[in-house]
Amino acid sequence: MQKKKRKRQKFFLIKKWDDWFIFILGVVFIVLGILAIFNSLYHKNNMQIFWMCYISLLIIGFGLLRKNAWLIASQLSILAIPLIVWDIDFIHWIIFQSPLFGIADYFFISPGFSLGKFISLQHLVTVPLGLFSIYLIKLKKKDYWKFSMAQIVVVFLVVYFFTSPSDNINCVFDSCVNFVGNFYYQFTWFLSFFSLIIITSFIMNQFKWLFE
Q: At 201, which amino acid appears?
A: S
Range with lowest mean pLDDT among 3-12, 76-85, 147-156: 3-12
Would the pLDDT of 38 be above 90?
A: yes
pLDDT at position 63 is 96
pLDDT at position 91 is 93
Using CA of residue 183, residue 187, residue 190, residue 192, what is the dihedral sign?
negative
Q: pLDDT-based confidence at 57, cuts 50/70/90?
A: very high
Q: pLDDT-based confidence at 70, cuts 50/70/90?
A: very high
- In whole angstroms, what is the distance from residue 141 CA to residue 49 CA? 30
Range with lowest mean pLDDT among 11-15, 82-86, 199-203, 208-212: 11-15
How does pLDDT run across 157-171, given as a tens digit for each residue? Answer: 999 999 999 888 998
Q: Mean per-residue pLDDT for 72-96?
A: 94
pLDDT averaged over the chain?
A: 88
Pair 133, 25: CB distance under 8 Å: yes
Would the pLDDT of 195 be above 70?
A: yes
- In whole angstroms, what is the distance from residue 212 CA to residue 141 CA? 9
Could you state, in order of their start, the residue ranges of all structural domains in the chain?
A: 2-210
Would the pLDDT of 116 be above 90?
A: no
- In whole angstroms, what is the distance from residue 61 CA to residue 23 CA? 9
